Amino acid sequence: MEIIKEQYQTICKSSDSQGKFEFRIQNDCSQIQLETSIRDDRSDSVYADVNRIELEQMAKAILSVLGASNVFEKASKWDVLDDKISKFYENEDGEVENDGDLTDIGELAASAFGYL
């Protein structure tokens, strides 16, 4: 395979004691190229070319993963709100940690959603 570097723009490049990695995108945005090499007796570089359809599939997969992390972040916020609201009600020992009414709970929830 012939690599014509003028057709590609390097997006990121990294290396460590194990080898190197370079990510390039073709100037017309139709293809990406990954180059990796591992430092050993076979120090040849390995190239992987990806076309536009594969790029779209990769983008969807990445967005899905990023969306999943958003779900976990939102779930954590709900857990914090649940913990705060539960303190207005009796626990297993019949004690109430936070004295208040539905107005206080409503204000707490509104604050959690950024309305206050």
Q: Is the pLDDT of residue 26 over 60?
A: yes
DSSP result, 7-72 = GEEEEEEEEETTEEEEEEEETTSSEEEEEEEE-SS---EEEEEEEHHHHHHHHHHHHHHHHHHHHH
Q: Is the pLDDT of residue 58 over 90?
A: no
Q: What pLDDT digit, counting tens, does each position of 12-24 carry? A: 777 777 777 777 7
Q: What pLDDT digit, counting tens, does each position of 73-82 carry? A: 888 889 999 9
CB atoms within 10 A of CB 93: 5
| Bridge partners (DSSP) listed for residue 26 | 8
| Domain total of the chain | 1
Q: Cα separation of 74 and 27, whole Å?
A: 38
Task: Give residue 1's pLDDT.
Answer: 45
Residues spanned by the domain of 38: 5-112
pTM (two decimals): 0.43
